[in-house]
Amino acid sequence: MQSISGIIYLILGACLLPYVFTMIAKKAAGFTAKDHQNPREALAKAEGLASRANAVQQNSFESLPLFIAAVLMAEYMVMPQRLIMTFGIAYLVCRIIYGICYLKNWAALRTIIWLLSMLCPVTMLLLIIKLTS
């Protein structure tokens, strides 16, 4: 049986990453105690860096189900640990770079990095299909 601790760290890292961008959004928006009563409404009104950080956290949450499903399926189907870790780390690194690109407002590079990040779980699922055929 493969070591699962690396897989747990991958999933934990991917799950915590959106919250990093949430904290950036709240700090950039200058959140007050009143804003914490309805943070979604306050962030929806944010502009500039705060708005972009909020968009990163939303997109990060949106990509999580595909990533988690791919990692868990890869582990379940006993894909080589090296491949799972390679694609998982690549996903996390791309998501961090994606977030930086979003914060810096580098739209073209952000789109390329987004595509690379999404190719990681998609490739894992395609490899699983190949393994099971």
- Look up residue 95 and give its two tokens: 């998501």
Q: What is the pLDDT of residues 84-109, one digit of tens each?
A: 999 999 999 999 999 999 999 999 99
Which one has a higher pLDDT value, 64 or 43?
64
Rounded-to-integer distance, Cα 108 and Cα 75, Å: 34
Q: Model confidence at 111, in pLDDT bands (50, 70, 90)?
A: very high
pLDDT of residue 40: 86
Query: Global pTM?
Result: 0.92
Cβ-based neighbour number of residue 14 at 10 Å: 20
Amino acid at 62: E
First to last CA, the chain: 22
Average pLDDT over residues 53-68: 96
* Helix%, strand%, coil% for the chain, nearest 5: 85, 0, 15
User: Nearest-CA neighbor of 13 among 55, 64, 72, 54?
Assistant: 64
Token pair 């990095």 is found at 113
For residue 81 the two structure tokens come to 């640990």
The pLDDT assigned to 59 comes to: 97
- Three-class HEC string of 50-83: HHHHHHHHHHHHHHHHHHHHHHHHHHHCCCCHHH
Model confidence at 1: pLDDT above 70: no
- Domains recognised in the chain with CATH numbers: 5-132 (1.20.120.550)
- Reported as a pLDDT band with limits 50, 70 and 90, residue 73 is very high
Beta carbons of 113 and 98 less than 8 angstroms apart: yes
AA letter at 109: L
Q: What is the pLDDT of residues 18-27, one digit of tens each?
A: 999 999 999 9
